[in-house]
Amino acid sequence: MLAEIFYGGIAALLCGSLLPLLFPSGIARKASFLLLGAGCALLLAASAVGFFSGSRTAFSIEGILPPIGFSFVIDRLSAFFIGMISVVALCVTVYSFQYVERHEGRGSKSALVSLMGFFMLSMFMVVASSGMLSFLLFWEIMSLSSFFLVMFEYENKDTRKAGIFYFVMTHLSTVFLLVGFLVLYHATGSLDIGPAALPAMTANLAFLSLLAGFGIKAGVVPFHKWLPYAHPASPSNVSALMSGVMIKVAIYGLVRFLLFVLSPAAWWGVLILAAGTVSALLGVVYALKEHDIKRLLAYHSIENIGIILIGIGLYLVFSANGLPEIAALALAGSLFHTLNHALFKSLLFMAAGSVASATGTKNIEEMGGIIKRMPYTAALFLVGAVSISALPPFNGFVSELMIFQAFLQAGAVAAPLLKLFLVACLAVFALTSALAAACFVKAFGISFLAVPRTEKAANAREVPLAMLIGPGALAALCILLGVFSLQLFGIAGYSAPLPDMAVVGTLMIASFAAAFLAIRSPARRSETWGCGIVSQNPKMEYTASGFSEPIVTIFKPFYRTRKHIERTFFDSQGSIFKEGYGEIELVKFFEEYLYMPVARAAGAVSGYVSGFQNSSLNSCMLYAFLASILIILLTGWRA
């Protein structure tokens, strides 16, 4: 039964992906969205059956590439991720029903819908694959379809740069995965994703290769630079899919191989915990200085992937130290945060896309006052902002609380140095949570409050109903998963040490209502004092640059700021100032000191090798002759 539901969902997604290509019209696109939505609904049903039954269902498709078939499995882990992808993809499909028609890009709208369908389909197939061959095949389809979606507005120079950056990084990810799979195949002789008894050196090599491969796709520091380029360049519905669920497919792969294939060593957990802590801190620090709303959200994806890795790292550390209950708490918190991030980040990208569509800009400095013109979108963005800021009683608070609870039991670890390391990571994690809340005070306040700063913001209008229903469903889930988290964990069969958030939420609402009634009194309305200026104007508002300036100053070692100041004077002695220009440039550290040196080295090697290819015919014949002699000698030596 489960296999039939799964096949039905996949068939609906495939038909929905092909339809706009065969019949490129508005009617075909609408029919495609209906098929995509139906496919997501069927796969959501399949995931529910697989998760709550607790059984492991295996099935296969034979004869696709004779004599090779594709095998699939749905257990609780894959069912969890299939359900997460289904929910987000279904809401994005509803949102896209009108977003695609309003999209002003020059690319084909039918191609956009078709690529989006193949992108969804490939993610489901990756998560369901039980063999390394099918996993890698659908991983590449996912990478290529997302690359074409990133390049959808290819006539834009920044989009082309983002696309090339993403193409290189995503295929570098595939190279590392291929190395890891080959190591496993060489050691076990099997392409199945199953338990493998490996020597320590082989297991370490496989782990490092897989960590690099999945880490690049997930956006883990220092492999993260593609993410803040790709998200602003993509259509907003695509950004919601990429940040909401695509990077979680990489988390699925890492968890799958750590839990069900490899036997983790203790230092693996320390490495993952360190990578997660650095990613969480740098992600939020770089997000704070951004004014492009989609790039800001992209950096927060890096931060939240770091939080997820922190939970996974804690699981491995506590497991290696004989503390299975604390390890289970950390893993549960990590997986719950994976689901929560998928929900509130997709919600935020769709709400940001609605704002960008209505105002024609992604720069929050050019917004302001949108809450009066787009009240429903503002409310949805606020729900996402509160959730990602980990404030009670929303879902982000619960998952981060679980990870905090695991951290606070670091005293049970015997090794003093490891205990000190865990305390340091806890301090950074706490700082990350505080900075995230500050960042979304800026994002929401500068974008939606005060008065419009530009004519674009003043002319903004609320988006159509479908563009509210999709993110609205995600906003409702953010609230429900937070308020009823204790009950939901009980239904899932896990006893989580959590407070009853329904009671907490009720008490908070009652407290706010009491405070409001207590301070309510007749008030005199008057214009805000403006330093003696009679009329207020948008230039007197608090700006995103002003909000970020203290953060940029405090974290100057991270940003590596460069100041450029030019002055001209009326006199030759430089005593009477005439005019000047000042600029603060934030150094792109990883790009300038890590990526570009490697790219330049690769370009130099390529140029050197191309010299051999462009040589004379006689030289080429000489190279071929020498290569033949070398092969003969090597063959004879081995014989």
Close Cβ partners of 118 (under 8 Å, ≥ 6 residues apart): 17, 141, 145
Tens digits of per-residue pLDDT, 431-472?
999 999 999 999 999 999 888 888 888 889 999 999 999 999
- At 589 the pLDDT is 67
Burial class (CB in 10 A: 0-12, 13-18, 19+), 299: buried
Alpha carbons 335 and 399: distance in angstroms, whole number: 8
User: Mind spelling out the 3-state secondary structure of 550-584?
Assistant: HHHHHCHHHHCEEEEEEEEECCCCCCCEEEEEEEE
- Cα dihedral 392, 394, 396, 399 in deg (nearest 10): 80
Alpha carbons 527 and 540: distance in angstroms, whole number: 13
Going by C-alpha positions, the residue among 315, 350, 345, 346 that lies closest to residue 329 is: 315
Helices 395-407, 324-359: inter-axial angle, 10-degree rounding? 150
Extract the tokens encoding 538. 């948008």
CB atoms under 10 Å from CB of 628, counted, come to: 10
The SS3 call for residue 69 is strand
- At 80 the pLDDT is 96
Alpha carbons 510 and 507: distance in angstroms, whole number: 5
Alpha carbons 496 and 395: distance in angstroms, whole number: 14
Q: Which residues of the chain have pLDDT under 50?
A: 639
Where are the domains positioned within the chain?
A: 613-639
Where helices occur in 189-263 by DSSP H, the ranges are: 200-218, 226-233, 236-241, 247-260
From residue 200, alpha-carbon distances to 184, 304, 354 in Å are: 12, 31, 51
Going by C-alpha positions, the residue among 301, 307, 319 that lies closest to residue 275 is: 307
Alpha carbons 382 and 380: distance in angstroms, whole number: 5
Extract the tokens encoding 13. 């997604």
Residue type, 634: L
Alpha carbons 617 and 151: distance in angstroms, whole number: 40
- At 351 the pLDDT is 96
- At 521 the pLDDT is 62
Are the C-beta atoms of 316 and 258 separated by less than 8 Å?
yes
